[in-house]
Structure 1
Amino acid sequence: MVKEKACILKFVEIMVNLLVLICVGAAQASVAGFTSLGGFGTSSFSLNSAYSPFEGTELQEVRELDMQFTQMRAPCVYGGVAFSLTAAALTLVFLVVGAKPIQQLRTGLLAGECAFNLLAGAAYVAAVGLYLHFVSQVNSTEVCKRRERLYARRGYTSMNCVVQGGDAAVGLFGVVAACLYFASFVVCILAIRTVRAFQSNMAKAQHSPKSSIRDRSVRNHHVASRTSESSHSIQALATLV
């Protein structure tokens, strides 16, 4: 029962890691700007589109600001993608390796899994804090504020210098992932206790037949000695008679 819970938690952790990965990409696409390639052409106009509300020097300025803003946020994207992919891959490894019957599990492997769960949970808490802190720092720069003013002139108020919904989703799913890894750590400790109890019972079961045979041989020896002594007594009594 404990291993089934651990496998379910591992599967959910992989899904949440993928959600974090998706939210990181979506957050970058939503704030990259219309003229930036980081926007993936999902907005109303892009670098190569026929229509653009910006013209002349204003268009050039918006392009430069979008590029600078995208480059400033690049560490968030690369770090978030690398972190979530690594966590998902390692979780998948432990899921595959740990999907064995309880008699085939080793406490050393479970101890490594417990250490990974604890470190992953703590790392996710730290990563979410660093991600939101870095996003806030980028949003407080002059590049972001100038970019916000330019877009606001044309009625595009979504390009503002506050934490966007995508960034908030990254933080939310990151906290959920941390809670799942901490829960997996507790379940892993219970799994170690279960495996040790199972191994202890198996060891007792293996030694109990030998001990019972030994006890029977000792009892048979005592009975035989008592029989021989009684026979000697009868023979002595018969000689006297």
Structure 2
Amino acid sequence: MVEVLLAALILVCSSVSCGSAGGYTGLPALGGIYYYQYGGAYSGFSGADGERAQQLDQRFYLLKLPIARAAMAVGGCLLVFPCVLILVGVLGVPWHFPAWLLIECTLYIVIAVGTVPALYYFLHSLLSVYNSSVCKEREQLYQSKGYQGFWCSLHGAEIAAGLLGCMAAMAYLLSAGLAVRDYRTVHEQKRKPLQV
């Protein structure tokens, strides 16, 4: 259940990166509360600045989109895997086929080890987007109009996704150890003579 929870949180945190097609200028298109919260559509932007902000928002969004989609795909796969293992356990496969637990252990180790380069790629790719000229120009444009929060640095959800990925890797290593222990237990139980 811990693996399911971690995977769901990774999926949610990853989806934040591709949640909006634009920054401030993309919000008024949604209408309602966003319009008033930010002081009206294009407040502080006029003419060429407004168009430039919109272009930069769109380009920045497109730079982050592949990374966010990849992270969401990994989160989805991490969510499906423990659910399948729960189903396998409910069906009693480990009792009837104890070698399954060794296969499960191997899969846990592969996923845990594979998570490390995936996290590196995720954070490295995001940092390269934040170091891009598009992000720097976007940050300067928004700061010139007095808007805060458009900085070129990792935000909380992206940092949380990275930390949750580390926790998931540790959980999978722990699960690998538990699978080996369960294999030994099942093996010993099957060796005992049946008591009538």
The answer, yes or no, to whether TM exceeds 0.5 is: yes
Encode CA deviations 1:71-120: one digit per residue, 9 max, x unaligned: 11111111011111111112100111113569834222212211221112
* Pair 1:114 & 2:105 matched: yes
Structure 2 match to 1:157: 148
Q: Which amino acid in 1 is paired with 2:171?
A: L
SS at match of 2:68: helix
For 2:139, which of 133, 148, 155 is the aligned residue?
148
Distance 1:76 1:103 in 2: 37
Shift of 1:17: 0.4
Structure 2 match to 1:91: 82
Shift of 1:138: 0.5
Structure 2 match to 1:104: 95
SS at match of 1:138: helix
Structure 1 match to 2:5: 15
* Pair 1:199 & 2:187 matched: no
Shift of 1:126: 1.9
Distance 1:103 1:112 in 2: 10
Quote the RMSD (CA, aligned, Å): 2.7
Give the count of matched residue pairs: 191
Structure 2 match to 1:228: none
Structure 2: runs of 5+ lacking an equivalent: none
Structure 1 residues 40, 176: closer, same or farther in 2, change over 3 A? farther
Distance 2:3 2:32 in 1: 29
CA contact (8 A) 1:145 1:161 kept: yes
Larger radius of gyration: 1
CA contact (8 A) 1:29 1:40 kept: no
| TM-score of the two chains, using structure 1 as the length reference | 0.71
Shift of 1:44: 4.2
Structure 1 match to 2:128: 137
Encode CA deviations 1:165-203: one digit per residue, 9 max, x unaligned: 11101101111111111110010010111111111223x
* Pair 1:123 & 2:109 matched: no
Structure 2 match to 1:64: 55
Identity %: 27
For 1:51, which of 38, 41, 47 is the aligned residue?
41
* Structure that is richer in helix per residue: 1
CA contact (8 A) 1:35 1:45 kept: no
Structure 1: runs of 5+ lacking an equivalent: 1-10, 207-241
Structure 1 residues 114, 55: closer, same or farther in 2, change over 3 A? same
Q: Which amino acid in 2 is paired with 1:197?
A: E
| TM-score of the two chains, using structure 2 as the length reference | 0.86
CA contact (8 A) 2:113 2:169 kept: yes
Larger mean CA deviation between 101-110 and 82-91 belongs to 101-110
Distance 2:31 2:71 in 1: 22
CA contact (8 A) 2:59 2:134 kept: yes
- Say which structure, 1 or 2, has more relative contact order (CA 8 Å, 6+ apart): 2
Structure 1 match to 2:181: 190
